[in-house]
Amino acid sequence: MAANGNGNAMGRNGLPTIQTRPNGICHDDSSAPVKANTIDELHSLQKKKSAPTTPLNGVDGTAFSFFTEEERQQQQLQSISNSLASLTRETGPKVVRGDPAKRTGDTPKVSHHHHFTVTPTISVSDSSLKFTHVLYNLSPAELYEQAIKYEKGSFITSSGALATLSGAKTGRSPKDKRVVRDESTEDDLWWGKGSPNIEMDEHTFLVNRERAVDYLNSLDKVFVNDQFLNWDPEHRIKVRIVSARAYHSLFMHNMCIRPTPEELENFGTPDFTIYNAGQFPCNRYTHYMTSSTSIDLNLGRREMVILGTQYAGEMKKGLFSVMHYLMPKRQILSLHSGCNVGKSGDVALFFGLSGTGKTTLSTDHNRYLIGDDEHCWSDNGVSNIEGGCYAKCIDLSREKEPDIWNAIKFGTVLENVVFDEHTREVEFEEKSVTENTRAAYPIEYIPNAKIPCVGPHPKNVILLACDAFGVLPPVSKLNMAQTMYHFISGYTALVAGTVEGVKEPQATFSACYGAAFIMLHPTKYAAMLATKMEKHGATGWLVNTGWSGGSYGLGKRMKLAYTRKIIDAIHSGSLLDATYKKTEVFGLDIPTEVEGVPSEILDPVNTWPDKKAYKETLLKLAGLFKKNFEVFTNHKIGKDNKLTEEILAAGPVF
């Protein structure tokens, strides 16, 4: 037997011996005993209580700096209680912070001076006799625990991301989205043919709101997120999301801008509130209801109600619709676009529908990403509306999309993906649940993201189209009227399903490249875009990422390498100095040369072996453009009709 350097006796194999003390208790001297007498005490040592970061002794300009931590939390709870208040009762529910599963045997303490001691009989209900536990702005780790414990279909994947299921609905329900039509929205919003705004009245909204609030108040716990929209601090919006699922809370934690502890303490009353009761259906006998799903916007009350769908994208796009209403009122243009900035400060906007390459082309390792989907253009420049990215996952691979692949890690929400039951490795090619598999992650998960997500005024506005007809040129420089025409049109083409072995392209038009989300008439957004482009000297471009040498099935998809060379030439400014010629029918200016791109493909007629078929297909697409634009022809822009006439003249001529 030997001794180690500390004088402790050592046994065989170098292990410390177990000493028998005079009291007869065996003791292992190899380490100090833990400072706990029970396993519960040991668990309590594992978690360190977060200390408030704002000094409690007061700081000038801090709204709540003279309150104690307990008083601050009480004000916070009262604000949440007010948000959850029924319109038929005088007060909101009794709310308390924390997970009800961790409060056994004790009655939660609340401040009773916030509740009336005498209430009318009409307000008495089971929910008014219980406490609603509020899980407030939980961290991703805490939300993981909630999802894994209580939400069936939640799993941790091999990459660390949280896999979830959105239930029966795996996509948005645009036909079930409604907007209250009242005095404030009657003249402002776009109603009627072609509009995405389906009307409902105030009373019906309040019926659905009451249904959602009653459902949320009946639960033992609700998740509450207080967050921001718009990275421009001068124009940011405070939003509150009340939901019943950890999945929804983590999704919005990622997609909205996350407040600092100081900002959260001073959050106050939200500018807009979402009540997500998606697990509970709407009443089909309620006026305007056509299914068990309803997504309702009330711009006057600044509220949104979700019933009958658990698809998280409804919250993201619902708030985007709100920004499409609120921002133009401040003379700020809201945009459904990607946005990046070069090292010299040159900003580019990328517009494009699904499948056009908007996400791929706006994610450039030589440039900083401001955002991938939603932006504002104000007098201060551009700013991202969101705090995260919502990327498609179908057929995702490390080689094709390395940034998105690497962003799927701890904290990321994976919607409706399929994974190996043993290894938990995601099989991104699987469509068993849906083809619309998605990943929601914070924007800082992208290595070259620009934080804060703001930039100067854009120099280039790039409109992307995946033309499966194969008649649009790879790149065209647009004048202002053409930019407005193609922006309002929002064209791309999708490949239809197989019918007896024949596949034909199908034209798709979405006004302003986001018709499902705009609130005003498309020409109003187009006029704002033109004004800002002229003021700041931006150039418009139409880039076709679709087919060349023939329509889908005959020609080939434009090589991504060529498209990237074109985008590089736009960013560098070299394309401005190119020699141009004009195409027939659409009257587009196309360059005769682009570095790194074969000159023969720049004019699509050169790539078609059958010139007659090319002309027929070109005229067919031109006719589809004209037919689509008919709904916009009677809307005048400005005091006279001059601008409207210029836009119409910028369309195809045949």
Q: Please list, in sequence order, all residues whose beta carbon lies within 8 angstroms of the beta carbon of residue 633, skipping any fewer than 6 positions away.
A: 644, 648
373 is catalytic: yes
DSSP letter for 101, please: G
Residues 342 and 569 sit within 8 Å (Cβ to Cβ): no
Q: Active-site residue among 178, 235, 317, 477?
A: 317
From the candidates 176, 372, 373, 467, which is the catalytic residue?
A: 373
**Cα 485 to Cα 651: distance, rounded to the nearest angstrom:** 7
380 in Cβ contact with 232 (< 8 Å): yes
Nearest to 373, CA basis, from 401, 338, 349: 338
Q: Are strands 26-28 and 18-20 parallel, antiparallel or unpaired?
A: antiparallel
- Single out the catalytic residue among 133, 245, 358, 521: 358
Determine contact, residues 517/324, Cβ cutoff 8 Å. yes
Active site residue 354: yes
Record the tokens describing residue 362, joined without a space: 């706006």
Pairing of strands 272-277, 303-307: parallel
Q: Is 203 labeled as catalytic in the residue annotation?
A: no
Residues 464 and 445: their CA atoms lie apart, in Å, by 25
- Cα 237 to Cα 537: distance, rounded to the nearest angstrom: 29
Residue 98 to residue 106: CA distance in whole angstroms: 13
Which of these, 279, 274, 277, 372, lies nearest to 315 by C-alpha position? Answer: 274
In one-letter notation, the amino acid at residue 33 is P
Of the candidates 185, 273, 359, 508, the residue annotated as catalytic is 359
From 133, 211, 235, 336, the catalytic residue: 336
The answer to whether residues 427 and 408 touch, using CB atoms and an 8 Å cutoff, is no
Cβ-defined contacts of 596-601 (< 8 Å, 24+): 596/561, 596/562, 596/565, 596/568, 597/474, 597/562, 597/565, 597/566, 598/562, 601/474, 601/548, 601/549, 601/558, 601/562
CA 95 vs CA 99, 118, 213, 222, 269: distances in Å: 12, 18, 13, 10, 16
Can 359 be counted among the known catalytic residues? yes
Clarify whether 301 is annotated catalytic. no
Evaluate the CA torsion angle 447, 453, 457, 461 in order and state its sign. positive
Annotated catalytic residue within 88, 158, 269, 354:
354
The alpha helices in 256-340, defined as continuous H runs, are 261-265, 313-326
Annotated catalytic, 400?
no
521 is catalytic: no
**d(Cα 162, Cα 148) in Å, to the nearest integer?**
9
Tell me how far apart the alpha carbons of residues 511 and 492 are, in angstroms, rounded to a whole number.
11
Residues 133, 223: contact at Cβ < 8 Å? no
The overall longest dimension of the chain from CA atoms, in Å, is 106
Set 438, 457, 532, 571: catalytic member = 438
CB 93 within 8 A of CB 217: yes
CB-based contact 273:306 (threshold 8 Å): no
72 is catalytic: no
Q: Are 350 and 337 in contact (CB under 8 A)?
A: yes
State whether the Cα torsion 134-136-142-147 is positive or negative: positive
CA distance 323 to 374: 10
| Active site amino acids | 172, 317, 336, 354, 358-359, 373, 438
